[in-house]
Structure 1
Amino acid sequence: MSPTNYTMIGLMSGTSGDGLDMAHCSYELHDQWSYEILDAVTVPFPKEIGEKLMNSHKLTALELALLDVDFGKWMGKKVREYCSEKQIKPLAVCSHGHTVFHQPEKGISLQIGNGWSLHQAAGLKVINDFRMLDIQLGGQGAPLVPIGDRLLFPSIDFCINLGGIANISMESAGKRIAFDTCPFNLLMNAQASALGAEYDKNGAWAKEGTLNEKLFDALNTLPYYSKSDAKSLGRENLEDDFLPLLISSGLSEKDILRTLVEHYAFQIARVVKQNQTSDHPSVLITGGGAYNSFFIDRLNGQLDGKWLQTYASSELIEFKEALVFGFLGVLRLRNENNCLSSVTGASNDSSGGLIFG
């Protein structure tokens, strides 16, 4: 008989590249799954590793292979230090890894952070490489979080994560569906960086900017938004489709920020309106963008105030993805599906992830 209580460490290295999210969580199954984030920290990347990760898609094959092992070893060392300091021994470490390439149409999605080196350095069982099985089954290998949304947050209508890229997950006709709705912090942080900060705090600069209708319309007519099947955005899409529009617009950083905020609010509200089954659907917003009060205000405007924002603690806002990766590991150990074909477009549901140790 399977145990019903698991303590895991979930590791998430996001596309925005600021550090490693580490969440020590417990998961319990009675009639339904429940969870608790026992403790969570973000460990900044050392300067050299951080720079290499941000440029990993430009490295030679040998440099990438070395970074894969070094990054795995560094994560394992940080996990060992953390477990020693907290005097804990989780059942396993569940790592997302750092995405270098995501091209499911070619059959690849590469997340580095070598499982063997992580396992040896941490001294714990490791589960990683959660995407590749789904991709070989014809899926996008993303998003992976919706199974966590379904089982850990069953009463919420829409789960939205505003990270480097924004995604949404919901039930539709008895199936879970989810996809990337639009870019998010990856494009906005680049504008904030030009203004001298890592990000636009509370959306203050965007609020000072002016909405540019021409850029707004051009963004909304990008081909990505007319796709109706399983879909996901990668860094490649941003470089090929979105950035050229921003660069050629000739607008100031603040006007670009203002227009991006409206574009994101419009696209996310459009998805909610198309899929809502009640007048005031419940919405859980997590990820760094949840702190962008100007964006939340514009989303409220695009939804005509007809929604209920579910309270989320700062730990849930910042560590939900790490929490869910820990949960994906629990499902993998139970040999239960942790990847939904209704979300990814694969031929069938699957239980993805490689186990080391």
Structure 2
Amino acid sequence: MMLTAIGLMSGTSLDGVDVAMIETDGRRIQAFGPSGYRAYTDPERKLLREALAGAVHLAERDARPGVLAEAERVVTLAHAEAVKAFTAQHRIAPEEIDIVGFHGQTVLHRPERKLTVQIGDAVALAKAIHIPVMSDFRAADVAAGGQGAPFVPVYHRALVQSLERQGPIVVVNIGGVSNITYIDGADTLIACDTGPGNALLDDFMQRTTGQSFDCDGRMAAQGTADEAWIARVLEHPFFARRPPKSLDRNDFAHFKLGEMAPADGAATLTALTVAAIARIVPLLPKPPQGWIISGGGARNLTMTRMLRERLAPARVEAANALGWSADAIEAQAFGFLAVRGLKGLPLSYPKTTGVPMPMTGGVIARP
């Protein structure tokens, strides 16, 4: 039976809340609905950065010491505002939506400690929007020994199957962290994080220019990448590990660029993201025939140009060119995952997160 879901995503780039509607039975995509966006304000983004710093020493996933309690309240309120504005704009009544998939804001991801923390109060959100809310998608996977990320591959597979193309195909999501889904037919689904996405670049831009990101990759286009520095970063053992594997947003924050002009720093960090994605190719069963780029990185023209150069002769396309919404894919995915969770279908697999067996997940909060 087809259900109507709204998915919500607030990613590691800390830019805002993506909203998207989808009709699905959890296996096939019947239709895409509209999508929307609610940007975080500068004070909200500052608070979330403080929450990331405050979460470093968390030992319990439900603890909200210090700034984390206020950050959770702000995240919940922002998501409620996003849903209310979206449904009002598109004249959607709450009873027309079967489920909302609420990812929350990741502030700590330490699967080796069986710990992943996404802040956001699903019970309060369900009461505010008067729609059932599914949240806590990653906890069961991590508790069972999985990486708890990436979680979008099962949705990527549904999207790629609708294209009817020869594989292997890789879908790359470039958010704060970059991750890939390798799809070859109906049976082969492999996924992992590949390394930094936009997080290091965004932090560098904020620190050196006051801008929250490198719009269209313009700053990077004016600079020269420090290939020696990139090579040193790529010596980190993470890049040689086979999938599945996952990262916390700040895992590479200790690699400092030193004194460098903003354009050269932006070029270097953009090239690092691209090089890290390219490093996954030898670890895959077969060289991909095509790459589909989604997430915030798909809007960075310098990053996509570098990807085409590094991944040639494979075909590299932006998700939007295929009729997908590069900005809404993750939000759509959590609507899709919410429906799968309702039906008890697997959300993660041994070759996507390393979980011992296919796992469902999610917890429902009712208004």
The aligned counterpart of 1:141 is 148
- Paired position in structure 1 for 2:13: 16
Say whether residues 1:356 and 2:360 are aligned partners.
no
Paired residue type of 2:193: D
More helix by share: 1
Distance change in 2, residues 1:212/1:352 (3 Å) = same
Which of residues 331, 338, 347 in structure 2 aligns to 1:338?
347
Alignment size in residue pairs: 346
Q: Is the 8 A contact 1:92 1:127 kept in 2?
A: yes
Range 136-145 or range 166-175, more displaced: 166-175
Counterpart CA distance in 1 for 2:245 and 2:192 is: 6
State the 1:77 CA deviation.
4.2
After superposition, the CA RMSD in angstroms is 2.4
Q: CA deviation at 1:63?
A: 4.1
Residue aligned with 1:97, SS = strand
CA distance in 1, matches of 2:274, 2:87: 40
Question: Is the 2:174–2:198 Cα contact (8 Å) retained in structure 1?
Answer: yes
Q: Counterparts of 2:43 and 2:281 in 1: how far apart (Å)?
A: 41
Q: Does 1:123 align with 2:130?
A: yes
Distance 2:142 2:181 in 1: 19
Amino acid at match of 1:160: V
Residue 312 in structure 1 maps to residue 307 in structure 2: no
Could you give the per-residue CA deviations for residues 143-176 of structure 1, whole angstroms, max 9, x where no partner exists?
A: 1001111223224610001111111111369431
**Change beyond 3 A, Cα 1:61–1:311:** closer
What CA distance in whole angstroms lies between the structure 2 residues aligned with 1:192 and 1:48?
17
Question: Identity of counterpart residues, as a percentage?
Answer: 29
- Judge conservation of contact 2:152–2:333 (CA < 8 Å) in 1: yes
Q: Is the 8 A contact 1:77 1:121 kept in 2?
A: no
1:282–1:307: 8 Å Cα contact kept in structure 2?
yes
Q: Once the two structures are superposed, what CA deviation does each residue of 1:7-47 show, in whole Å capped at 9, x if it has no partner? A: 11100001111111111222257xx6124332111112245
Task: Give the structure-2-normalised TM-score.
Answer: 0.86
Q: State the partner residue of 1:57.
A: 52
1:212 to 210, 214, 226: 226
Structure 2: stretches of 5+ with no match in the other structure: 55-63
Query: Structure 1 residues 170 and 64, CA, compared in 2 at 3 Å: closer, same or farther?
Result: same
Deviates more, 1:199-208 or 1:283-292: 199-208
Give 1:203-352 correspondences, 5 Å limit.
203-240=217-254, 242=255, 244=256, 246-247=257-258, 250-272=259-281, 274-275=283-284, 277=286, 281-309=289-317, 312=320, 316-352=325-361
- Which range moved further: 218-227 or 96-105? 218-227
Call closer, same or farther: CA 1:87–1:306 in 2, change over 3 Å.
closer
Take 2:76 and 2:139, find their aligned partners in 1: how far apart are those partners? 18
Tell me whether 281-290 or 317-326 shows the greater mean CA deviation: 281-290
Distance 1:52 1:259, change over 3 A: closer
* Residue number among 168, 181, 184 corresponding to 1:169 in the alignment: 181
The CA distance in 1 between the partners of 2:30 and 2:40, in whole Å, is 28
Q: What amino acid is aligned across from residue 185 of structure 1 in structure 2? A: N
